[in-house]
A = this chain, B = another copy of it.
Amino acid sequence: MERSVHRSPADLAEMDGMCSASIEQGMILRDLLDHLGDKWTLLVVGMLENGAVRYSELKNRVPGISQRMLTLTLKKLERDGLVSRQSFAEVPPRVEYSLTELGRTLLEPALGFARWAMESSDHITAARAAYDSRD
């Protein structure tokens, strides 16, 4: 038990340059995943890439999302300051969602991720097939 918890100050100092970055990133990544790692959040953000989109259109564009989850996801994103909501006093009612400044900064890493997924999906599929057909 002491092995993992008890470290000398020297150890900690040494770790600072090489390893604690990973650990800190681990913590932050943890938070990140708790907020963005769910089933729909990144999808919704992706759909707002090109500008404001209204609720119903969003529901159409994100295949399979339920009203409940769309609402919940948008509320959370709004709370986190990544998405802004603008409702128009019209009839029929119209509500548009768009990325905030902060939300747009998320776009780049998110698309980087998506790019990786597209470039790697073949390799992964192949790797999986190879793994499954081993004895």
A interface residues (Cβ-Cβ under 8 A, vs B): 3-5, 18-19, 22-33, 35, 37-39, 42-43, 46-47, 49-50, 53-54, 57, 60-63, 78-82, 102, 105-106, 108-121, 123-124, 126-128, 130-132
As for how many copies of this chain the complex holds, the number is 2
A25 contact set on B, CB distance < 8 A: 46, 111, 114, 118
Instruction: State A47–B117 Cα separation when bound (angstroms).
Output: 20
Main secondary structure, interface of A, reads helix
Per a CB cutoff under 8 Å, which of B32, B53, B118 touches A114? B32
Question: Are the CB atoms of B109 and A19 closer together than 8 Å?
Answer: no
A39 contact set on B, CB distance < 8 A: 33, 37
Question: Are the CB atoms of B31 and A121 closer together than 8 Å?
Answer: yes
Knowing that A31-B121, A79-B128 are A-B contacts, what are 9 other residue pairs whose CB atoms are under 8 Å apart, sorted by A's residue number? A5-B57, A25-B114, A27-B63, A28-B114, A29-B117, A81-B123, A102-B124, A102-B127, A105-B116
